[in-house]
């Protein structure tokens, strides 16, 4: 066997289409479009740093989507079984993220020293006008790549991946430890309502220090 052999382990992604239904998804999209203005801020990474070479988009931390949280609760048991994680007694934390022309998010994990143990499951719900007014913006999820004879994770160019289309009214679930990225978006009109809208979040284990308070991750 070659000493350069690589294990390639696909990451489990649970994807559900037509998740909320036409009427509910349309109302949520209208709410997202109406959120333009002072509520949208440049998106940050991990410990609240603005790094435009790694992430370029805008976010609304106070966006409310109770109908989405209810729908997630209804499918959670099946998602737990598929992804292989228990989310009992978790609390949601999420925000609206908006990608327009040229926006992206380089490869990253949804973990940091502060939140790694609390974030148990990542979810991303997609919204956009139809027909889709932008190109790109796929969610690229990288396979785990481990050389057989070392304890390192190998080089990025050795990794394989799968791209998931940001289809309107679809949602994906995966573990926060998975390496993933948002591919660059092309939005010729550059109009805000033509953006790639996504509600990104996590199901998190409760933080005793904040129990009973609103969470902001």
Residues 81-99 pLDDT 10s = 999 999 999 999 999 999 9
Q: Is 25:19 a contact under the CB 8 Å cutoff?
A: yes
Q: Is 204:118 a contact under the CB 8 Å cutoff?
A: yes
* Mean per-residue pLDDT of the chain: 87
Q: What is the pLDDT of residues 142-201, one digit of tens each?
A: 988 665 555 555 565 567 899 999 999 999 999 999 999 999 999 999 999 999 999 999
CA distances from 179 to 76, 102, 121, 142, 143 (A): 22, 21, 13, 6, 8
Of the candidates 119, 96, 83, 85, the one whose C-alpha atom is nearest the C-alpha of residue 203 is: 119
Q: What is the pLDDT of residues 42-60, one digit of tens each?
A: 998 865 788 989 999 999 9
Q: Is 176:124 a contact under the CB 8 Å cutoff?
A: no
d(CA 35, CA 75): 27
pLDDT value at position 211? 44
Q: Is 175:85 a contact under the CB 8 Å cutoff?
A: yes
d(CA 128, CA 168): 5
Q: What angle do CA 74, 176, 8 make, to 5 degrees?
A: 110
pLDDT value at position 2? 53
Task: Encode 183-203: b = buried (16+ Cβ within 10 Å), e = exposed.
Answer: bbbebeeeebebbbbbbbbbb
Q: What is the pTM of this model?
A: 0.87
Q: What is the pLDDT of residues 124-133, one digit of tens each?
A: 999 999 999 9
d(CA 215, CA 207): 9
């Amino acid at each position: 066997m070659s000493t350069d052999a690589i294990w390639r382990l696909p990451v489990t992604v649970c994807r559900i289409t037509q998740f909320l239904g036409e009427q509910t998804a349309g109302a949520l999209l209208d709410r997202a479009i109406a959120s333009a203005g002072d509520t949208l801020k440049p998106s940050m990474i991990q410990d609240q740093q603005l790094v435009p070479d790694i992430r370029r988009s805008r976010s609304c931390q106070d966006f409310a989507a109770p109908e989405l949280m209810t729908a997630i609760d209804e499918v959670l048991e099946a998602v737990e079984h598929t992804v292989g994680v228990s989310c009992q007694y978790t609390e949601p934390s999420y925000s609206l993220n908006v990608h327009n022309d040229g926006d992206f998010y380089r490869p990253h994990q949804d973990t940091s020293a502060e939140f790694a143990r609390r974030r148990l499951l990542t979810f991303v719900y997609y919204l956009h006008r139809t027909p889709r007014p932008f190109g790109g913006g796929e969610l690229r999820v990288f396979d785990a790549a481990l050389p057989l004879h070392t304890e390192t994770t190998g080089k990025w160019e050795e990794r394989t991946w799968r791209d998931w289309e940001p289809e309107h009214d679809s949602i994906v679930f995966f573990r926060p430890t998975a390496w993933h990225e948002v591919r660059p978006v092309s939005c010729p009109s550059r109009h805000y309502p033509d953006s790639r809208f996504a509600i990104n979040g996590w199901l998190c284990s409760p933080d005793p220090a904040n129990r009973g308070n609103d969470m902001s991750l």
